Amino acid sequence: MAVSACLALMTCACGPEKSKEDADAKPSQPSASTPAKEPLATPSASATASASASAWAGNPSSTPARNQPAPRTKERAIQRYEQYLHALGHEDIHTVCEVAGPGAKKAQDKGFGPCTSTYVAVFQMISPAQKKALQTATVDPQRVAVRTPDRIEMPLEAVRASATFSESDLGSYTLEYLKNDYYITDGS
C-alpha cells in the first residue's frame, strides 16, 4: 500500500498493495526548468503539534504569517504540498496531519482511525529510498492544474524527486483553500 493509496483508502475505503518493485524503482530526474524554491516557513514543533492535534476538530490551523490568511495562489498551494511531501519523508506526523487534515477527517468519519494512527502505518509502507527522496522533493509549477483559486490539483507527474513514484506509491492530490490555507482534501 502506498501514501496515496492510504489517503484514497481513508477517503474511499479501498487501495492497492505496494510491491517491492515499486519501492525499488529507478530514480527520476529533477526537471531542469524547475525554478529554485524559497525555503519553507516551518512552524515550531510545539506550534505544529498543537495545530495538527486539533486542526480538524474545529480549531483554525497555523499559517506562515501566524494567524494571517495564507495567499490564495498557486505558489502557496505548491509550498503546502511540498511541506506535506517533506513531512512524509521525515515521518513528521504532526505536519502531515495538519496539511492532510480534511482528507484524513473524511476517512475518520468513514470508520478509519485518526490521522495520527493511520499515517504511522503509512510511514512503514514507504521505502527508505523514497523517504529520503521525499525530504527534498519539489513540484514543477508547469504541471500543476489550477481549477479555481480555491481548488488546485497536484498530479504525480508534477513531483520532482530522486526516486520514482507511481500512482500506487504517491498518487495525485487535490488541495483546497479552507480555513485560510491550502489543505489536501482528496487523493487518488
Give residue 64's pLDDT band: very low, low, confident or very high (50, 70, 90).
low
Number of Cβ atoms within 10 Å of the Cβ of 67: 9
Is the predicted pLDDT of residue 175 greater than 80, yes or no? yes
**What is the arithmetic mean of pLDDT over 46-62?**
37
pLDDT on residue 178 = 95
Domain spans of the chain? 1-12+70-188
Beta-sheet pairing, 173-178 with 151-154: antiparallel
Give residue 145's pLDDT band: very low, low, confident or very high (50, 70, 90).
very high
pLDDT on residue 121 = 86
Is the predicted pLDDT of residue 41 greater than 60, yes or no? no
pTM: predicted TM-score of the whole model, two decimal places? 0.69
What is the Cα–Cα distance from 148 to 9, expressed in whole angstroms?
26
Is the predicted pLDDT of residue 19 greater than 90, yes or no? no
Helix (H, G, I), strand (E, B) or coil at 81: helix
pLDDT in tens, 82-91: 999 999 999 9
pLDDT in tens, 117-143: 888 888 998 999 999 999 999 999 999
